Chains A and B, each alone.
Chain A
Amino acid sequence: MSALEIQNIRKSYGAVDTLKGIDIALQSGEFLVLLGSSGCGKSTLLNIIAGLAEATSGDIKIGDRSIIGVHPKDRDIAMVFQSYALYPNLSVRRNIGFGLEMRKVPLAVREKAVLDAAKLLQIEPLLDRKPSQLSGGQRQRVAIGRALVRKPQVFLFDEPLSNLDAKLRLEMRTELKRLHQMLKTTVVYVTHDQIEAMTLATRIAVMKDGRIEQLGTPEEIYNQPATLYVAGFVGAPPMNILDVEVDNGALAIVGSDIRLPLPDRFKPIARDGARLALGIRPEALRLAPSASQAAGITLPVRIEVVELTGPELVATARAGQQRLTACLAPRTKVGQGDVTAFSADDDALHLFDPATGRACPA
């Protein structure tokens, strides 16, 4: 039995279909991240799980119980909002215990639960303050505490770190990971930040236009993107996508005379003359020691821009008419205008059908 099961959920606003049939089954203790750009339907899905919006059709089960039509308070869920959504006139103590207070939990039990949560989140000294007296990070901890004390079956997070500055976001991300590892709770987490998704999730659902593009572990999403959208969305800088044509068992870069050997695993499916999209992650490229390298592929390029970010050197180059990016070691000796070559292992190559956007099966 799944902890949370989403079955063919659809949501329409008039003629606009926001969700077009979402299916996800989540085991207890899983951390699912709904990842996608603005307007992809991820927050709508979260609101439907919370009961703050109604699905047009489909079913959602928590445990073995359908929660469609059930009031948010009776769904056994707790939610953390992007804006923290703390009650401004109540102290931190009452904010955290508010859900228990509304459920008429005895004061002593409530107090203990609030103290336990505060201890876990290291906000004990703040309990008697008002939300207006807290920093952004402290407010977010209070919001998490308010969810924790309820001990629900499923936690819902709606972009909880978006309002924090970069340093605090990093700290809170680690904190959330620590809490999840400690409490083993089932979480559905919405974000548009792929780093948050990669670091926190046990599984990621990449969404686009109301559909799930790919549902898999962070490793699967990163290493085996199922579609061009996923390949382009996950990763910073995004995966290089080059137009290629299959020509006599090789990949010819369109608009140049560069030919790359077609990896064996693609040979059965790449028919001669087919136009494909070749994907290579910038991190998979390195500066080739010489133009003819024994293993993998070698791609002659002209360097256009070199940017040192600190931990890496990001080189933007041209292969024929097409542009690509490589993340190189920071001390790599390369400069603007250099004519050189990038190399990569065969494993690092991905082929996509540009017509459907789907990855070619290897």
Chain B
Amino acid sequence: MSGSWMTTRAWLLMLPLLVVMVSVIGWPLVDTVRLSFTDAKLVGTEGNFVGLDNYAKMLSGSNFQRTLVTTTWFAVISVAAEMVLGVLAALLLNQQFRGRTLLRALMILPWALPTVVNATLWRLIYNPEYGALNAALTQIGLLDAYRSWLGEPNTALAALIVADCWKNFPLVALIALAALQAVPRDITAASMVDGAGPIARFRFVILPYLVGPLLVALVLRTIEAFKVFDIIWVMTRGGPANSTRTLSILVYQEAFSFQRAGSGASLALIVTLLVTVLAVAYAALVRKAAGSTS
């Protein structure tokens, strides 16, 4: 069988996938780029070419800058907390104890729940009139009166981060648990004979095996957290006073609430670019970590 026929056949086999990808990813992306250089509205006018005006307006606007800070805070704190909680949970679930299998199964539950269900659940917990959090805190004496956790700008973002952590730390725990089970028993035993205590054992023996898989979790979770939309939309819609407005919410508002398709598209592309930069940086880190433990 000739090489050229093999190549032709390979392209033919890939063709259906290519058609799907071009229609659902390629074309919308190209059209978004085109839109971002126009002043098009969502309904009605096709829009006129305005060059880089949309980008300039967005990047220099206070809305974008404030939202970028909020998004960064949300991503950094929630991902960091998920990493710590996930690793701690994995270390715990890697121990031998009765009911371990059941606990491992239960732990996955928050992650397996749809985000909308999770968000509604937490909205109920934070409810200013009958929420469980207020009840618990007042009953143990940490709170004098019920508060509106999602209604106050200084607590809303923290409340969202807690809800996001609860939903996503099981994924990190799952990845860490799989990595922990790959730590050779002999190496752990050798470190015990060598006199390493629990902290030294974690640092020198276990952590090198966790770094690679955790970096993968970090990449996935940071990208997800950076483009977070659903949990915030269900719980606060970006409020109060835009204190929980993230970039994806801003894109939505710009494109659909204010119907400015052109500037919405430019904002979406800026977010895509930021996420791509993050992904590339993390991929380099993962490659480096994989090289050091192989």
What residues of chain A have their CB less than 8 Å away from a CB belonging to chain B? 47, 50-52, 71-73, 77-79, 81-90, 98-99, 102-103, 130, 132, 146, 150
In the complex, the 4 A-B pairs of residues with the closest C-beta atoms, listed nearest first:
A73-B195, A85-B190, A102-B195, A85-B186
Q: Knowing that A72-B192, A73-B193 are A-B contacts, what are 11 other residue pairs whose CB atoms are under 8 Å apart, sorted by A's residue number?
A: A47-B189, A50-B189, A79-B189, A79-B193, A82-B186, A84-B186, A85-B184, A86-B187, A99-B195, A102-B196, A102-B200
* A85 lies within 8 A of B187 (CB): yes
Q: Does B204 lie at the interface of the complex (its beta carbon under 8 Å from any beta carbon of A)?
A: yes
| Bound CA–CA A132/B208 (angstroms) | 13
| Bound CA–CA A98/B191 (angstroms) | 8
List A contacts of B196 (CB < 8 A).
Answer: 73, 98, 102
List A contacts of B4 (CB < 8 A).
Answer: none
Chain A residue nearest in CB terms to B293? A88
A98 with B208, Cβ < 8 A, contacts A85-B184, A89-B293 known: no
Q: Does B294 lie at the interface of the complex (its beta carbon under 8 Å from any beta carbon of A)?
A: yes
* A102 lies within 8 A of B194 (CB): yes
Scan residues 173-198 of chain B and give those whose CB is less than 8 A from a CB of chain A. Answer: 184, 186-187, 189-197
* A83 lies within 8 A of B208 (CB): no
Give 1 or 0 for each of B52-83: 1 = CB within 8 Å of chain A CB: 00000000000000000000000000000000
| Bound CA–CA A89/B192 (angstroms) | 17
| Bound CA–CA A72/B195 (angstroms) | 8
| Bound CA–CA A137/B197 (angstroms) | 29
Scan residues 240-276 of chain B and give those whose CB is less than 8 A from a CB of chain A. Answer: none
Q: Does B42 lie at the interface of the complex (its beta carbon under 8 Å from any beta carbon of A)?
A: no
* B195 lies within 8 A of A88 (CB): no
Give 1 or 0 for each of B150-191: 1 = CB within 8 Å of chain A CB: 000000000000000000000000000000000010110111
* A132 lies within 8 A of B194 (CB): no
The residue that A103 contacts in the complex, of B192, B195, B204, B293, with Cβ under 8 A, is: B195
Chain B contact residues: helix, strand, loop or mixed: helix
Can you name 13 A-B residue pairings with CB atoms under 8 Å?
A: A51-B193, A52-B192, A72-B193, A73-B194, A84-B186, A89-B208, A98-B196, A99-B195, A102-B195, A102-B196, A132-B294, A146-B190, A150-B194
What bracket does the count of chain B residues touching chain A fall in? 20 to 34
* A146 lies within 8 A of B194 (CB): yes
What residues of chain B have their CB less than 8 Å away from a CB belonging to chain A? 184, 186-187, 189-197, 200, 204-205, 208-209, 292-294
List B contacts of A84 (CB < 8 A).
Answer: 186
Of residues B192, B208, B209, which shows the largest number of chain A Cβ atoms within 10 Å of its Cβ? B192
List B contacts of A82 (CB < 8 A).
Answer: 186
* A89 lies within 8 A of B195 (CB): no
| Bound CA–CA A85/B195 (angstroms) | 14
Chain B residue nearest in CB terms to A78? B193
List A contacts of B184 (CB < 8 A).
Answer: 83, 85
| Bound CA–CA A47/B190 (angstroms) | 11
List B contacts of A79 (CB < 8 A).
Answer: 189-190, 193
* A81 lies within 8 A of B189 (CB): yes
| Bound CA–CA A342/B224 (angstroms) | 81
* A87 lies within 8 A of B189 (CB): no
Tell me the minimal C-beta distance from B157 to chain A in angstroms: 37
List B contacts of A51 (CB < 8 A).
Answer: 192-193
List A contacts of B197 (CB < 8 A).
Answer: 102
* A77 lies within 8 A of B208 (CB): no
List B contacts of A132 (CB < 8 A).
Answer: 294
Of residues B191, B194, B196, B204, which shows the largest number of chain A Cβ atoms within 10 Å of its Cβ? B194
List B contacts of A72 (CB < 8 A).
Answer: 189, 192-193
* B293 lies within 8 A of A52 (CB): no
List A contacts of B186 (CB < 8 A).
Answer: 81-85
Tell me the minimal C-beta distance from A29 to chain B in angstroms: 21
The residue that B191 contacts in the complex, of A78, A87, A150, with Cβ under 8 A, is: A87
Tell me the minimal C-beta distance from A140 to chain B in angstroms: 13
List A contacts of B194 (CB < 8 A).
Answer: 73, 98-99, 102, 146, 150
